[in-house]
Structure 1
Amino acid sequence: MSEEIDIDADDSLERALGRAWSSDRPWNLLTRLTELPNRMGGSPGERRAAELVREEFESIGLADVRTAEFPMARWERGETELAVTDPVERSFRAIALPYSPAGDVEGPIVDVGYGTPEEIEDAGEALDGAIALSSTTTPPGRRFVHRMETFGHVAAAGAAGFLFANHVPGQLPPTGSLRFDGEAAIPGVGVSREAGDWLAEYAERAGRGRLRVEATTTEGTSRNVHGTLGGGDEEIVLLAHYDAHDVGEGALDNGCGVAVVAGAAAILAPLELDCRVRVAAVGCEEVGLIGAEALAEELDLDAVRAVVNVDGAGRFRNLKAYSHASDAIADLAESVGEAFGQPVLDEPDPHPFSDHWPFLRAGVPTLQLHSEREGDERGRGWGHTEADTREKVDPRNLREHAMLAALLVSELTRADPPRVPDDVLRAALADQEYEPGMRAADIWPADWT
């Protein structure tokens, strides 16, 4: 892969890391982004966020910084009402999930537990015309089942509505898209853990409910911002999404990620790099990886050696590296962690639910940088709720993860990881039983018959 890592052999890298140790650049960018009213895909707030990121990239010294616009389906929420109508009459707070269609449905409430395929199958005909209730978490010992998979399965089973109940306490209804870049089949909303507990009880008592959603989906646009460091015919792509759901500040998801990318780019800027590094901030991840898809279409993927997707880094203390079925990427992440005395937790299994996917699907080796703290429950925690706010971020984590991201990218410029063949990727996804869920979510690649 690459030569043994030796920081002392590169004085410019050592100086850049020293400056980064006390840099407020990541924190300041995070602050400017989280001050915006919202950064929902296609919104004026997202447009302003792109301008802020462009200014940041120019101040770092990236070359050829440009904004690339792309079309998308813009979703906007209106009012949402959720009520139990039998055996009691009772209302609950709920928020519409992006790409929910407008609708007014009534029916029995059917609890499908964790929303696994087995639980949905067990519900059988009871789901026909029902309002399905599912948890945001997944049973221990199983890979995490994405919301879109569960939604796709219950909609296919004939449900008329979908209730997504947070497993984290705190009266926090969760959000999250029902599908990628287009209106979903049935209305869906998020409810808090506390509301979900009551709704599960009413489901046991053969309860009925009514769900009313006001929402619109119209043609819109979003934009990517990217520039380059170094030169050459091949490149490493370092990216993060800067959009966020409109219910909170989007500090953890993914203000931290784009702040880490800016911090890493500032470290890399003065270095003599062995190949070009493209630094990108992409829009509309939360509503379908749309910006990443547009970037992948714009670039010559044959010239992209690897992609580093910073989605989740900077949030918590321990850096987690998803190596997405690439042994070479896993080895590189491990070597950087060992060389600098920083634990980097490896997760080798691939998944399709972040901005690396359009590149990985084409065989490009990808590394997703995430983070976790010890003892965390499974799931997003405060993410995708109104509690996703700036005060939960530790500036030290932003700095350290920016430094580690820069080191990983620097090493990748000296490496040439092999492509990930289709059969290897498909086998890894099959091992995790992804195919049924991806088909239900309508994201299984069309050329994978």
Structure 2
Amino acid sequence: MDEDTDHGGATTDALAGALGRTWTEDRPWSFLTRLTAIGDRMGGGPGEREAADLVETTLAEAGVRNLTQQSFPMERWERGEASLALLEPHARTFETIALPYSPAGEVEGELVDVGYGMPEEVDEADVDGKIAVASTSTPPGTRFVHRMEKFGHAVEAGASAFVFVNHVEGQLPPTGALKFGSEASAPAVGVSKETGAWLTEYAEQGGTVRLSVDASTTPGESQNVLGDLGPDTDEHLLLLAHYDAHDIAEGALDNGCGIAVVTAAARVLAEADLPIRVRVGAVGCEEIGLLGSEHLASVTDLDSVRGVVNVDGAGRFRDLVAMTHHSEATRAAVESVASETRQPIHVEHEPHPFSDQWPFVRAGVPAVQLHSDSGERGRGWGHTHADTRDKVDDRDVREHAMLTALVVREVAGRDLGRLDRESLAEAFRDAEFERGMQAADLWPDSWD
């Protein structure tokens, strides 16, 4: 890791002081408390706008300058009531919630259990004109297959509707978008693990259900919050985190922790000697399609972006995870920070398209996503009613903020080069993403 001594010991002392204060201060917890108290921060809604104002105020207090809110149009989805009623072999009802971008409508049909919803499982099942039931989890030893892929596979095979079954106990129906920013072609709902056990049993008996969704998709507006740290150079590094959340919970883990990490890291970086400008971006509408980061990428001269550090999932659990998205340069930077600080940072090198680094990685910009997990498969409390502030240990938020600041400083000081398109496409193929991304309409045409 580059030292600040080339720029004078006072800078090193200032950075060390900022890191030390982060270790003990209560600002990250106070911010997280105010953010989660808002409640519904669904993309395009009033709670998301209130959160954007809070983020802007907090970044200004941290020393971020030139702050502005950049609005962008989007398709706002609003959740209404949903119902799931068993018709045969006897009548009963189940608790359920609609999945974002599900269209409104009512479907009756036979239940078909497609297991984990892997492509081969959908291929083997007869889902044409039926209602596919798939788990939120994936088989051990395989990559985590995203909900959008499972839904896409089922609809491609002719399913008339989709039921997403949580693998986490506790009567927790999961949520999560079906498409990136637009209404899907078939109704879909989430149900708890306990309900899923009944549905898979009824599927074996040829059970039929009536699934009903009340929802709307209308033109809306969201916003990104943007500001600067460091020198006024044309070339810059992007430090990103999304601040929106699903409407069914407080969004403390996803991604309240992440944006809290960024606000605390910004306070540290304001006292660091940065080699180039760091543009801090709090982006909206990640949960419904990376819409904020897509807009940011569309209005940014990407040739001026040295790299991206995306904080999505940091601060949730004990140890930091760095997803380096096929960039050897960002991997080396992260490993340097881990070595210098003697702190564990687990590196995962495979790319994925399901967070805010994707619009930039797709264009060849090197990135690292800072994350943390419990070691369990899937999202855990995330995307359920249980994503609440009491699940957070703010020691993890403060420690990850310190490490994030050091990673940003290290990445900003390196020549990262550019990702080769053919090599990147091959990396996605090697990770067995191609078919799933095609089913979810995410595979770039230029990669064919």
Fold-level match, TM-score > 0.5?
yes
Structure 2 CA distance, aligned partners of 1:363 and 1:12?
A: 35
What pairs up with 1:157-196 in 2 under 5 angstroms? 157-196=157-196
Query: Aligned-pair distance for 1:16?
Result: 1.1
What residue ranges of structure 1 are gaps of 5+ in the alignment?
A: none
Structure 1 CA distance, aligned partners of 2:341 and 2:230?
A: 24
Query: Aligned-pair distance for 1:447?
Result: 2.4
Structure 2 CA distance, aligned partners of 1:163 and 1:193?
A: 11
Compared CA separation, residues 349 and 4, structure 1 to 2 (3 A)? farther
Match of 2:347 in 1: 346
Q: Deviations over 1:20-62 (max 9, x none)?
A: 1112221111111100130000000001000111111111121
Does the Cα contact within 8 Å between 2:86 and 2:210 map onto a contact in 1?
A: yes
AA in 2 matched with 1:380:
R
Query: Aligned-pair distance for 1:6?
Result: 8.4
Does the Cα contact within 8 Å between 2:325 and 2:349 map onto a contact in 1?
A: yes
Structure 2 CA distance, aligned partners of 1:401 and 1:5?
A: 21
Does the Cα contact within 8 Å between 2:307 and 2:412 map onto a contact in 1?
A: no
Structure 2 CA distance, aligned partners of 1:441 and 1:327?
A: 28
Query: Aligned-pair distance for 1:398?
Result: 0.6
Does the Cα contact within 8 Å between 2:422 and 2:447 map onto a contact in 1?
A: no
Structure 2 residue 110 is matched with structure 1 residue 149? no
Compared CA separation, residues 179 and 331, structure 1 to 2 (3 A)? same
Q: Deviations over 1:193-236 (max 9, x none)?
A: 00001100000111111100000000000000010011212111
Match of 1:378 in 2: 377
Q: Deviations over 1:236-265 (max 9, x none)?
A: 110100000001000000000000000000
Structure 2 CA distance, aligned partners of 1:287 and 1:187?
A: 16
Match of 1:101 in 2: 103
Match of 1:279 in 2: 280
Match of 2:75 in 1: 73
Compared CA separation, residues 22 and 3, structure 1 to 2 (3 A)? closer
Structure 2 residue 336 is matched with structure 1 residue 365? no
AA in 2 matched with 1:46:
E
Structure 2 residue 290 is matched with structure 1 residue 289? yes
Compared CA separation, residues 5 and 274, structure 1 to 2 (3 A)? closer
AA in 2 matched with 1:431:
D
Structure 2 CA distance, aligned partners of 1:304 and 1:239?
A: 13
Structure 2 CA distance, aligned partners of 1:328 and 1:219?
A: 40
Match of 2:416 in 1: 417
Structure 2 CA distance, aligned partners of 1:286 and 1:119?
A: 27
Match of 2:245 in 1: 244
Q: Deviations over 1:66-121 (max 9, x none)?
A: 00000000000111010111112111000000000001000100000000000000
Match of 1:270 in 2: 271
**Structure 1 length normalisation: TM-score?**
0.97
What residue ranges of structure 2 are gaps of 5+ in the alignment?
A: none
Structure 2 CA distance, aligned partners of 1:447 and 1:183?
A: 24
Q: Secondary structure at the match of 1:447?
A: helix
Identity among equivalent pairs (%): 59
Structure 2 CA distance, aligned partners of 1:127 and 1:234?
A: 51
Count of matched residue positions in the alignment of Structure 1 and Structure 2? 444
Does the Cα contact within 8 Å between 1:38 and 1:46 map onto a contact in 2?
A: yes
Match of 1:337 in 2: 338
Structure 1 CA distance, aligned partners of 2:217 and 2:67?
A: 31
Q: Secondary structure at the match of 2:441?
A: coil
Query: Aligned-pair distance for 1:5?
Result: 8.9
What pairs up with 1:426-445 in 2 under 5 angstroms? 426-445=425-444
Structure 1 CA distance, aligned partners of 2:330 and 2:305?
A: 14
AA in 2 matched with 1:243:
D
**Structure 2 length normalisation: TM-score?**
0.97
Structure 2 CA distance, aligned partners of 1:204 and 1:418?
A: 54
Query: Aligned-pair distance for 1:4?
Result: 7.0
AA in 2 matched with 1:176:
G
Structure 2 CA distance, aligned partners of 1:308 and 1:30?
A: 21
Structure 2 CA distance, aligned partners of 1:439 and 1:366?
A: 23
Q: Secondary structure at the match of 1:299?
A: coil
AA in 2 matched with 1:96:
A
Structure 1 CA distance, aligned partners of 2:376 and 2:89?
A: 33
Query: Aligned-pair distance for 1:269?
Result: 0.4
AA in 2 matched with 1:372:
D
AA in 2 matched with 1:144:
F
Compared CA separation, residues 338 and 5, structure 1 to 2 (3 A)? farther
